[in-house]
Amino acid sequence: MDILEKRIYPRSGDKQTIYLKPVISNPNISIGDFTMYNDFVNDPLLFEKNNVLYHYPINKDKLMIGKFCSIACGAKFIFNSANHTLTSLSTYPFPIFFEEWELDRKDVANAWDNKGNIVIGNDVWIGYEAVIFAGVTIGDGAIIGTRAVVTKDVSPYTIVGGVPAKLIRKRFSENVINTLLEIKWWDWSREKISEKIHAIQTGEINQLL
């Protein structure tokens, strides 16, 4: 395995699991270090094509995913151009067919409501076939349940699930959550993370202070 392959495929013999950062080419998508994606249905290298949908350059909206996130097979990020505007008397996207209706091409984005970027924090786990909609921010440490449809912001270290996604529970006490958000272990050096991996895995938060 050459250096580039090792940066993409973190596990020897596993071509279903990749680090996303080195395979992203779209300048409107940013991925943090060590964030991984697993796909046992399609080629995970096609993440931009298969998982980031309606992400057209004309809208200039962004997908921003932090470090150490785990994204399960089939998770989808649905952007603004999938919307049909609700401010019109009709949901028909007349501006897209500007030639047919002799409209101004520069107004094509009026066909949909622009709700903004999708922002995913650090250490977020997005479950199998979950769907995240435009304008949503998911906080650090959150968990998105299998096939959840996320239409609203998710607080840090919160577990949500369902259609539409709703609060299931907080992962930790407020004191622990605040401590984790303060120390931001995902921003530590690789060496320090390696040194503290046991404490991270076993929940010994006092050893991280």
One of 62, 84, 147, 196 is an active-site residue; which one? 84
DSSP the chain: --HHHHHH--STT-SSEEESGGG---TTEEE-TT-EEE-SSS-GGGHHHHHEES--GGG---EEE-TT-EE-TT-EEE-GGG---SSSS--S-GGGGHHHHT--GGGGGGGS-----EEE-SS-EE-TT-EEETT-EE-TT-EE-TT-EE-S-B-TTEEEETTTTEEEEESS-HHHHHHHHHH-GGGS-HHHHHHHHHHHHHT-GGGG-
* Residue 198 annotated to the active site: no
The residues that are catalytic are 84
